[in-house]
Amino acid sequence: MSLSESIKKRKEKIAVIGLGYVGLPLAIAFAKVADVVGFDISSEKIKNYRAGIDVTKEVGDEEVQKSLVYFTSEESYLGECKFHIVAVPTPINCDKSPDLKPVIGASKIIGRNLKKGAIVVYESTVYPGVTEEICIPILEEQSGLTCGDDFKVGYSPERINPGDKSHRLENIVKVVSGMDEETLENVAEVYGMIINAGVFKAESIKVAEAAKVIENSQRDINIAFMNELSIIFNKMGIDTLSVLKAAETKWNFLKFRPGLVGGHCIGVDPYYLTYKAEEIGYHSQIILSGRKINDDMGKYVAENTVKKMIKANIQINCSKVAVFGITFKENCPDVRNTKVIDIIRELEEYGITISVVDPVANKKDVYKEYGITLCNVDEIRDVNALIFTVPHEEFKSLGIETLKKMLKQNTYTKTEHVLIDVKGIFNRSEVEESGFLYWRL
């Protein structure tokens, strides 16, 4: 009996290591058709899941509450499993080099609890070669077993889009790979239990690793192009979104938008590819150029905010600005690698006091990560400018009159209202007709 058949008949268990935005939906989905152990080193996260609280907001509290996943932070339970899925983050260091510590740590934990006949599948985004050249030796060292004889390895890149309620785990084609044909078939069969859209069998583990890392690199480059256009059109006095709407009437024009590129994927993954390229003697030109443009957009937004405030006769030093949104994208609580913080820090350099509003972000995470205490919308009063950085649904319902009440009213000095709308969630004509100095990418 194959491992996939044993899992289907609940004779063997699946382990999901890393229960964040990728791992939790995986564990929940697999638990509907198999026995699953959900492991995370964060005891606090496990405590929340056991209490039925979805800290990621990806599947919802109800799904967590009714799920049969055995949530644990005790690694010994992994010894009961034969199919391990690694879904830990792969961030970058301060010098933009890959930080593989989470993947290495997960490999050590699995290795210490690895059984003969097991398959270990990595989902974490890495550069081509990490699974076979870095992870396998660790698994062998920690377990005392031999890869190929005692256990097998595969790679299946995650494709979850945090906060996206349309493109879910089950309806996104899953790329799978294995170190040999037998492993590939087992991995494909196991994922086929939950993926309605089907699986695509990659030729090798390195091909699957490369496919993942270029998916986000492609998006990064396209957004960088939009950001560069925004900079150019801003200098020309042309509204970028108006240009894009006109261009999009052509059937093959790609619909990308300018914006802040943060998070744990698009703003990170390209550095994994360029790191490996440097290692083999090639210096990236297009990828790194796009990265530089996107990395500098926070500072660019801050500079244009200050320019608008000066034009509105607002004294910059000791002024107050409210920033709406600190997560890396809309309708998602994740604040990792958010580029909104670049705007905030840059404005603080000018002596501006910043208040931050975000009903979606976790207050504890924001304070722990950035030392910022979030405010509620009704606490924003007497500020000199408003910056909407993230288009959360909650912000789209705010009317112009509500925005005006948040701003400082000065009858002695002629000042204007300043609204910076990074992603263009408000109607430009209406806002400007209401007396706002308005700017967007």
Under 8 Å between Cβ of 119 and 187:
yes
Under 8 Å between Cβ of 421 and 438:
yes
CA angle, 428 then 429 then 432, to 5°: 85
The residue type of 355 is S
Q: Measure Cα distances from 113 to 10, 38, 73, 77, 123 in Å.
A: 20, 14, 13, 8, 19
Task: Give buried/exposed letters for 392-403 (b at 16+ CB in 10 A, else e).
Answer: bebbeebebeeb
Closest CA to 169 of 59, 261, 84, 92: 59
Alpha carbons within 13 A on the beta-carbon side of 16: 27
CA angle, 285 then 264 then 39, to 5°: 140
CA angle, 46 then 110 then 115, to 5°: 120
Q: For the chain, what is the radius of gyration of the CA atoms?
A: 24
CA-CA distance, 249 to 241, in Å (whole number)? 13
3-class secondary-structure state, position 112: helix
Alpha carbons within 13 A on the beta-carbon side of 245: 6
Under 8 Å between Cβ of 297 and 227:
yes
Under 8 Å between Cβ of 191 and 174:
yes
CA-CA distance, 204 to 208, in Å (whole number)? 6
Residues in the chain: 441
Q: Is 332 a catalytic residue?
A: no
Catalytic residue among 81, 265, 332, 375: 265
For the annotated catalytic residues, the residue numbers are 265
